[in-house]
Amino acid sequence: MRTTVTLTCVRCGRTFDRWKATHEQAMKRGRKIYCSPQCNSLDLQEQSSQTISCDWCRTEFTKVKSQIRKHNFCGHRCAALYSNTHKTTGTRRSKLEVWLEERLRERYPDLAALFNAKGAIGSELDIHFPSLDLAFELNGIFHYEPIYGSEKLASIQNNDHRKFLACVESGIELCVIDVSWINYFKPARGQRILDILVGVVDAKIRRRVAESNG
State the pLDDT at residue 88. 47
Ramachandran sector of residue 149 (left: φ over 0; alpha: ψ -120 to 50; beta: rest) = left
Name the domain count of the chain. 3
pLDDT along the chain (214 residues), means of 10: 84 88 83 87 76 90 83 80 59 84 95 92 94 96 89 94 95 96 91 97 95 82
Residue 90 domain-assigned (yes or no): no
Q: CA nearest 173: which of 142, 141, 143, 207? A: 207
- What pLDDT, on a 0 to 100 scale, did the predictor assign at position 86? 60
Ranges assigned E (strand) in the chain? 4-8, 15-19, 49-53, 60-64, 114-117, 125-129, 134-139, 173-178
User: Quick one: 74 and 172 in the same domain?
Assistant: no
Give the model's pLDDT for residue 89: 44
Q: pTM to 2 decimals?
A: 0.62
127 lies in the same domain as 32 = no
**pLDDT at position 91:** 45
Can you give the residue range of the structural domain that contains 61?
49-85
User: 155 and 209 share a domain?
Assistant: yes
